[in-house]
Structures are given as structure tokens and as C-alpha cells.
Amino acid sequence: MTYVIVEPCIGEKNSSCVDVCPVSCIYEAEEMYYINPDECIECGACEPECPVNAIFHDSAVPDEGKSYTEKNRELSGL
Ligand code: SF4
């Protein structure tokens, strides 16, 4: 399991999450930030930092964001 960044990040890219991640597993792509699921330790620190509520635990991603679990994996090269 991991945390996942979903659609509201696109166009926002606030980056507050990046600053709080203790293992530096949040990376920047062209459109959005993403979380490497193999590196995330599920600490939850990033979730409340996002001003557009784009970060969810994998088990709590809303239906409209489900495809982003795979997208975060793909962007991580996994
Ligand atoms: Fe980083 Fe913790 Fe967020 Fe995972 S849950 S991306 S380890 S801040």
C-alpha cells in the first residue's frame, strides 16, 4: 500500500507535500507530482499538506481517482 496523488494536482502542483515527505518519494512530472509506491512508507505526512486534497491513501482513493494509483506507478517507472 501507498499514498497516491490524484487529478486535482494537475494544474496546481503546489509542492507542499514534497517538503514534508521524510523519504523524498514524491517526484515531479510534467503535469503533476506523483508518489513512488515502492518508496512510500505510508507516514501520512503529505496528505494534510495538499491545498487541493489531491493525496489519498491507496485504500481511500475516491472512485474518480482510481486510475491514478496506476498512473503514480507508471510515472515511477514501475
Ligand atoms: Fe512521503 Fe509519507 Fe506521503 Fe508516503 S505518506 S509520500 S512517505 S509523506
22-59 per-position pLDDT tens digit: 999 999 999 999 999 999 999 999 999 999 999 999 99
Report whether 60 contacts 4 (CB < 8 A): no
Residue nearest to atom 3 of ligand 1 (CA): 46
**Phi and psi based region of residue 57 (left: phi greater than 0; alpha: psi -120 to 50; beta: remaining):** beta
Instruction: List ligand 1's pocket residues with C-beta within 6 A.
Output: 3, 20-21, 23, 25-26, 35, 40-46
Q: Which atom of ligand 1 is nearest to the CA of 21?
A: 8
10 backbone dihedrals φ, ψ, rounded to 5°: -65, 125
Diameter of the chain by CA atoms?
Answer: 28
Q: Which atom of ligand 1 is nearest to the CA of 35?
A: 6
Whole-number pLDDT of residue 7: 98
pTM for this entry: 0.97
